[in-house]
Chain A
């Protein structure tokens, strides 16, 4: 009985070791990659093996790092709780039909660049929910079909919106009390 248990434990340890070796911690990088044909189980710091979902890329992105969108796709809801940049260049439709929540601390900064958000199919109430502190910069993006395109509900936060098309929402940009939205 004892020998059998020992054998089971050894096998379990071996399995854990193999599992660990199969998903090694990637070398530290400043950026991760995202694609409509990626896979969140990948090491997304490798441009050949990008992530599939925005949340997956956000999870793998280091603090102050950058999520680089490589090909068009629909990337889904995400909850961002650290400083980072999401960067979709011209030539790519970085589509998102679900709410992106930015919930960061007072000294954090999130930049969202180049998204095409359309909430009218699923009916999510908010495009980008900026609900705590820090600074959010939204650039070169389309945000349409939500209840609120961008809702800035954190007191003392900074929202900067540049070169965006915010249309066909019930309200485009909504700032909460004590906030300082800077549309320009």
Chain B
């Protein structure tokens, strides 16, 4: 009996030791690796054994850490709920056909760099759906062909920076801000292109404060659409942009500023150093204001429209 018991105990100890070595926690690292030929059951902190899916890499990535994409691949949907960076360098196609959800809290920052998103095959609604709060930075990426829109900044009191990206061929808008609250959202877009979206290139709703600089916005129904709602009115600055050939429908316009709610009518678009040409209507306002700083080119639209006022140079 005693001998049997000893044998059982020894077996149990052995099993515990084996288990410990079989699933020992890897040393803490600041980065994990992702590859089109990886495996999510790997220890993805080892560059020789990367993850296979974006969600697998997100799950293994420490908060504030970095997901390094090693080789091209299709990486699938993911729900990001903590600060991290996704980093796909030049020379790699980090493809994704499904929605990436970013749902973070006010002190979190997510950076997505270098992904190629194409939604037309599966028909997902959004390329990137940003909810919660916090800061999202999107760089060097393409968001193409999604059923509702390329990227949605729906997070209240959030900040979004977009640099060197392309938003095209969506069935809705290339980029949409609509927090559905009265909270102020901040948006900065630089060096990006918005092309052939069925609704707006950039659609700015609710209480958004936006800067759009060095962008080309073409062949959409509306180039830039600033929409006032009962929750608030967007303030938009457009600097050094080309807004052209937005002619999809008879009501198409380069810049459309409109307040659907009651007074005060505070939707304001300020435009400087920009060219607005070849649109069905250049400028369209309804209960809203489009201000020129006197340095724009507005010509050769079906109907040019007029700036609400011209602010003097200072």
Contacts and interface: CB of A to CB of B under 8 A. Distances in A.
B90 A72 contact: no
Interface stretch (B8-16, B29-37, B185-193): B29-37
A154 interface: no
Given A91-B92, A118-B65, A118-B85, A37 B30 contact: no
B70 A95 contact: no
Interface in A59-109: 71-74, 90-93, 95, 97
Interface residues of B, number: 23
A5 interface: no
Contacts of A92: 89
- Main secondary structure on B side of the interface with A: loop
A97 B29 CA distance: 8
B68 interface: yes
Interface residues of A, number: 20
B311 interface: no
A77 to B, nearest CB: 12
- Main secondary structure on A side of the interface with B: loop
A73 B89 CA distance: 12
Contact of B63 (A71, A72, A121, A168): A121
A74 B92 contact: no
A37 B48 contact: yes
Contact of B90 (A71, A91, A168): A91
Contacts of B69: 72, 93
A145 interface: yes
Given A91-B92, A92-B89, A71 B65 contact: no
A116 B47 contact: no
A93 B65 contact: no
B66 A72 contact: no
Contact of A116 (B62, B66, B92, B109): B66
Interface of B: 28-31, 33, 47-48, 62-66, 68-70, 83, 85, 87, 89-92, 109
